[in-house]
């Protein structure tokens, strides 16, 4: 079965023989071959001079290091149960996060599978850099056993590609908005196959002002918030849209007077605002104001940073967001107030100045429907093999019982 669909651009390998893919046996999770391959991929990426322009590629390269992978193996392979990959994983990567495809790909490799990845139809140099490294490794005999388990393709939404690849996969991973997932699901899977979906999510940030007001390295904290928010124009599901302040009122005000000016200075020096986003922010504010009159826009000298002060915390706050630096903010009396708004859409909570034990107590007591990740400010985009509440190694491999 050779793939011969004219509108499919096969980025790797040169040609795609599906019979060969279907005949590939599954591997054990964290196999030695894959560990060595990923370490070689990290080394090869670091040789590319273009990498210095892309911190997301640098982060991916760092993730692939042997030391990190072996540490993950110790974490995710504590069970002595017999496991193998499920077979073929078909990954549909999001259009707005260039390096996401690579993280999704290696989650499939580490769990013992062959992988077909559809990358965004948009062109990104980050994608080119990673694929170039994959091509170089494919020419080395010692890495061919893993290389032949990889296929990377690009095509538009009108292509038959999704139908073809869905028809032969064991797991289909869909990264994207709710509408994208709905459209992809129109393409049937084999009876024993299933979807793993990473849908549109909403994320927030919580800062303890009682601690932040005395922080000696506040610029570092704010820079982390900038990276979480502006690097992807607040498009990432992990990007915070709501900032919750905790602490006494005086410390909150003092912290705001430190935090927001620092953020504006960073944005002004590093970020290029698209004109259309200025219009989007204004439209978003009007839309938010129509639904509640208990909001106030904090005056600003330009459109780089919009702050919307909430007098109360509406249950539908996740419906009101924009891109490129639009933040609602609220002074909460405690973490408990968050339980009134958190629903299944909530993904990541980034934080500063709060103990992990406080979050553990919050989860146990309030039992919220959402929030799968609690991470320090600046680390929201850090990839983990536990994502959106799924243990990817467990989900993408099958446990074999011998009685």
Residues 57-69: pLDDT tens digits?
Answer: 999 999 999 999 9
For the chain, give the number of residues: 403
**Which of 174, 120, 221, 155 is closest to 5 using CA atoms?**
155
The mean pLDDT value for 266-286 works out to: 94
Q: Where are the extended beta strands (E) located within 13-71?
A: none
User: pLDDT at position 372, please?
Assistant: 95
pTM higher than the cut 0.75: yes
- 373: number of Cβ within 10 Å: 20
Torsion, CA 4, CA 6, CA 11, CA 14, rounded to 10:
40
Hey, what are 24's tokens? 């590939």
Whole-number Å distance between alpha carbons of 318 and 232: 18
User: pLDDT at position 27, please?
Assistant: 96
**Are the CB atoms for 240 and 225 separated by under 8 Å?**
yes
Residues 103-133: pLDDT tens digits?
Answer: 999 999 999 999 999 999 889 999 999 999 9
Q: Which CATH number is associated with domain 9-200+388-400?
A: 3.40.605.10
Torsion, CA 137, CA 142, CA 145, CA 149, rounded to 10:
-10
Give the three-state DSSP class for 11: strand
Q: Which helix (H) or strand (E) holds 64?
A: none
The mean pLDDT value for 21-30 works out to: 92
Whole-number Å distance between alpha carbons of 297 and 320: 14
Residues 341-384: pLDDT tens digits?
Answer: 999 999 999 999 999 999 999 999 999 999 999 999 999 999 99
Give the three-state DSSP class for 199: coil
Hey, what are 48's tokens? 């590319």
| Residue 22's pLDDT band (cuts 50, 70, 90) | confident
- 295: number of Cβ within 10 Å: 18
Whether the per-residue pLDDT at 5 is higher than 80: the answer is: no
**Are the CB atoms for 396 and 86 separated by under 8 Å?**
yes
**Are the CB atoms for 167 and 41 separated by under 8 Å?**
no
User: pLDDT at position 4, please?
Assistant: 55
Residues carrying CATH 3.40.309.10, the chain: 202-376
User: pLDDT at position 301, please?
Assistant: 87
Hey, what are 66's tokens? 């042997």
User: pLDDT at position 243, please?
Assistant: 98
Residues 243-268: pLDDT tens digits?
Answer: 999 999 999 999 999 999 999 999 99
Whole-number Å distance between alpha carbons of 85 and 70: 18
Residues carrying CATH 3.40.605.10, the chain: 9-200+388-400
| Residue 2's pLDDT band (cuts 50, 70, 90) | low
Residue 204 CB partners (closer than 8 Å, separation 6+): 240, 241, 242, 243, 244, 338, 346, 348, 349, 350
Strand-pair partners of 58: none
User: pLDDT at position 3, please?
Assistant: 57
Least confident of 68-82, 180-194, 315-329, 367-381: 68-82
Which fold would CATH assign to domain 202-376? Aldehyde Dehydrogenase; Chain A, domain 2 (3.40.309)
**Which of 71, 131, 73, 76 is closest to 101 using CA atoms?**
131
4: burial class by Cβ within 10 Å (0-12, 13-18, 19+)? exposed
Whole-number Å distance between alpha carbons of 109 and 210: 45
**Are the CB atoms for 116 and 21 separated by under 8 Å?**
yes
**Which of 25, 19, 15, 13 is closest to 1 using CA atoms?**
19
H-assigned helices in 48-177:
55-63, 66-76, 100-110, 125-138, 144-147, 161-166
108: burial class by Cβ within 10 Å (0-12, 13-18, 19+)? buried
Rounded to the nearest integer, the mean pLDDT of the chain is: 94
């Amino acid at each position: 079965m050779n793939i011969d669909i004219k509108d499919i651009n096969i980025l790797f390998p040169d040609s795609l023989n599906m019979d060969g893919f279907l005949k590939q046996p599954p591997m054990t999770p964290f196999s030695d071959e894959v560990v060595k391959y990923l370490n070689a991929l990290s080394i090869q990426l670091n040789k590319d001079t273009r990498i210095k322009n892309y911190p997301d590629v640098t982060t991916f390269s760092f993730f692939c290091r042997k030391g990190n992978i072996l540490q993950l193996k110790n974490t995710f392979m504590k069970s002595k149960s017999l496991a193998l990959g499920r077979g073929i994983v078909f990954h549909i990567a999001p259009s707005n996060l260039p390096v996401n495809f690579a993280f999704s790909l290696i989650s499939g490799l580490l769990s013992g599978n062959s992988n077909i990845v559809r990358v965004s139809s948009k062109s990104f140099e980050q994608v080119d850099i990673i694929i170039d490294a994959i091509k170089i490794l494919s020419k080395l005999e010692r890495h061919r056993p893993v290389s032949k388990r990889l296929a990377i393709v690009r095509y538009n939404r009108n292509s038959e590609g999704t139908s073809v690849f869905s028809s032969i996969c064991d797991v289909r991973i869909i990264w994207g908005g709710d509408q994208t997932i709905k459209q992809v699901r129109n393409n049937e899977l084999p009876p024993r196959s299933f979807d793993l979906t990473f849908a549109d999510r909403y994320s927030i940030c919580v800062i303890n002002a009682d601690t932040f007001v005395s922080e000696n390295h506040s610029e570092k904290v704010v820079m982390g918030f900038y990276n979480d928010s502006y690097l992807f124009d607040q498009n990432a599901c992990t990007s915070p849209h709501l900032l919750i302040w905790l602490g006494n009122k005086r410390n909150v005000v003092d912290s705001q007077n430190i935090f927001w000016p620092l953020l504006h200075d960073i944005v002004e020096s590093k970020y290029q605002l698209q004109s259309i986003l200025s219009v989007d922010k204004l439209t978003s504010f009007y839309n938010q104001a129509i639904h509640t009159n208990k909001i106030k826009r904090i005056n600003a000298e330009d459109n780089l940073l919009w702050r919307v002060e909430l007098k109360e915390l509406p249950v539908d706050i996740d419906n009101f967001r924009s891109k490129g630096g639009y933040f609602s903010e609220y002074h909460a009396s405690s973490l408990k107030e968050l339980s009134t708004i958190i629903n299944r859409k909530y993904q990541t909570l980034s934080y500063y100045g709060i103990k992990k034990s406080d979050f553990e107590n919050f989860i146990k007591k309030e039992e919220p429907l959402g929030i799968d990740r609690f991470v320090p400010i600046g680390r929201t985009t850090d990839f983990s093999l536990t994502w959106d509440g799924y243990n990817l190694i467990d989900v993408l491999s099958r446990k074999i019982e011998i009685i």
